[in-house]
């Protein structure tokens, strides 16, 4: 933050609007996400030229074209690898990776888990719409079993990924979930992701109104939202249904309890601790269909944060150590090698 005459001033707001026409379908959830990201970055105090968007292939991956920053629209599934190379050599840049459920969990699944394992400092926005949109409506690795799509007319027989459980399994250091229909929550979560040093993965439930309309309706509609969702906050008890219900841990097992008069007291409830790796493992596992009898609500918010050193930090340290030990590279000494002999 800059200061003038000793008094702090608001960071200079930048305009990231690009001259490109946004070509997502009218009504697509991507518009909302673009707006929140743009707003966040414009107010972040960063310079445009320090921001880079890297994407793979899919509807969401067109994102870099729609902001006036540096951008690279890559190939299907490989954005994490492109990011890893870029971050290795340019650790000072703010790097954002845009991907979808097919891009990151199917064709690019291998790269995603290794990005997490290495903890490359990047904000990963995983637009999950549970469908292949750009290829016009095939089931994706997050489509529920039984999903009737253009490639599964009799229903999908595949068990879907639980993306955040996968990310937790790969030792992700920032794990969060939000949705396109809750801009305020989305912006808050994105700001947290941006502040985190390491791989920040935000799964964003995004409605594809053309091929999978209403996939997340139960979480986004006013009528059902209170019972099907739970918004977690660090240090606060897990309550939902407008405060009338909560989740308590019976040992390792989460159970739903009533919290109104005569029910459980707030002290008994599971207090969210985003630094607790074990509880985070349980939280990401709350993944049942909340419409089923007795099912857990779907959690949203920041589930887990860990300050493990980043890939770039370790790399930079190692290069500095090598220079300290061997001195800066001497090309002539390198060409000469260890054993030489002279003729003549």
Which residues form the interface with other proteins (CB under 8 A)? 18, 20, 47-50, 52, 54, 64-65, 68-75, 78, 80-90, 92-93, 110-111, 114, 315, 318-319, 322-323, 325-329, 331-332, 334-337, 339-344
- We find the least distance from the C-beta atom of residue 134 to other proteins, in angstroms, to be 12
Answer yes or no: are the C-beta atoms of 211 and 100 closer than 8 Å: no
Compute how many other C-beta atoms are within 10 angstroms of the C-beta atom of residue 135: 15
- We find the least distance from the C-beta atom of residue 127 to other proteins, in angstroms, to be 17
Nearer to other proteins, 48 or 236 (CB): 48
Nearer to other proteins, 25 or 282 (CB): 25
Nearer to other proteins, 70 or 287 (CB): 70
Q: CA-to-CA distance for 64 and 103, rounded, in angstroms?
A: 15
- For residue 250, what are its two tokens? 């019976």
Nearer to other proteins, 195 or 319 (CB): 319
- For residue 78, what are its two tokens? 């490989």
For residue 192, which of 67, 280, 304 has the smallest C-alpha distance? 304
Nearer to other proteins, 110 or 265 (CB): 110
- We find the least distance from the C-beta atom of residue 15 to other proteins, in angstroms, to be 12
Q: CA-to-CA distance for 141 and 106, rounded, in angstroms?
A: 6
Tokens 């006036």 -> residue: 68
- We find the least distance from the C-beta atom of residue 83 to other proteins, in angstroms, to be 6
Q: CA-to-CA distance for 229 and 242, rounded, in angstroms?
A: 10
- We find the least distance from the C-beta atom of residue 54 to other proteins, in angstroms, to be 7
First CA to last CA across the chain, in angstroms?
A: 66
Compute how many other C-beta atoms are within 10 angstroms of the C-beta atom of residue 294: 8
Q: CA-to-CA distance for 103 and 163, rounded, in angstroms?
A: 12
**How wide is the angle at C-alpha 189 spanned by C-alphas 105 and 170, nearest 5°?**
35
Nearer to other proteins, 66 or 219 (CB): 66
- We find the least distance from the C-beta atom of residue 159 to other proteins, in angstroms, to be 24
Nearer to other proteins, 54 or 247 (CB): 54
Nearer to other proteins, 18 or 151 (CB): 18
- For residue 278, what are its two tokens? 């074990």
The DSSP bridge partners found for residue 302 are: 176
- We find the least distance from the C-beta atom of residue 175 to other proteins, in angstroms, to be 20
- We find the least distance from the C-beta atom of residue 324 to other proteins, in angstroms, to be 9
| Residue 203: partners with Cβ closer than 8 Å, 6 or more residues away | 126, 128, 163, 164, 167, 176, 177, 178
Nearer to other proteins, 78 or 298 (CB): 78
Q: CA-to-CA distance for 22 and 24, rounded, in angstroms?
A: 6
- We find the least distance from the C-beta atom of residue 37 to other proteins, in angstroms, to be 15
The DSSP bridge partners found for residue 70 are: 52
For residue 58, which of 163, 143, 135, 140 has the smallest C-alpha distance? 135
């Amino acid at each position: 933050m800059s200061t003038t005459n000793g008094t702090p001033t608001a960071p200079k707001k930048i305009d990231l609007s690009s001259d490109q026409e946004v070509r997502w379908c009218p009504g697509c959830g991507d518009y909302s996400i673009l707006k929140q990201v743009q707003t966040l970055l414009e107010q972040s105090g960063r310079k445009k030229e320090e921001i880079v968007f890297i994407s793979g292939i899919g509807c969401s991956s067109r994102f870099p074209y729609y902001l006036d920053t540096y951008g690279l629209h890559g190939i299907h599934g490989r954005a994490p690898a492109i990011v890893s190379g870029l971050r290795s050599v340019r650790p000072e840049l703010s790097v954002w990776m845009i991907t979808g459920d097919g891009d990151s969990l199917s064709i690019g699944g291998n790269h995603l888990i290794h990005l997490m394992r290495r903890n490359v400092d990047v904000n990963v926005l995983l637009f999950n719409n549970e469908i292949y949109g750009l290829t016009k409506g095939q089931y994706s690795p997050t489509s529920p079993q039984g999903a009737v799509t253009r490639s599964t007319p009799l229903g999908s027989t595949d068990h879907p990924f639980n993306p955040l459980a996968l990310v937790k399994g790969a030792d992700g250091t920032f794990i969060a979930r939000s949705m396109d229909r809750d801009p305020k929550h989305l912006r808050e979560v994105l700001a947290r992701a941006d502040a985190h040093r390491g791989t920040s993965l935000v799964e964003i439930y995004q409605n594809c109104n053309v091929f999978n309309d209403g996939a997340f309706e139960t979480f986004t509609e006013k009528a059902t939202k209170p019972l099907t969702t739970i918004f977690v906050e660090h240090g606060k008890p897990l309550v939902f249904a407008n405060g009338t219900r909560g989740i308590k841990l019976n040992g390792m097992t989460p159970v739903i309890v009533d919290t109104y008069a005569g029910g459980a007291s707030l002290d008994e409830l599971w207090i969210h601790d985003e630094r607790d790796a074990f509880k985070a493992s349980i939280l990401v596992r709350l993944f049942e269909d909340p419409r089923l009898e007795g099912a857990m609500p779907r959690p949203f918010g920041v589930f887990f944060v860990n300050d493990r050193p980043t890939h770039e930090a370790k790399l930079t340290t190692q290069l500095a150590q090598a220079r300290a030990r061997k001195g800066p590279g001497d090309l002539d000494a390198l060409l000469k090698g260890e054993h030489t002999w002279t003729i003549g």
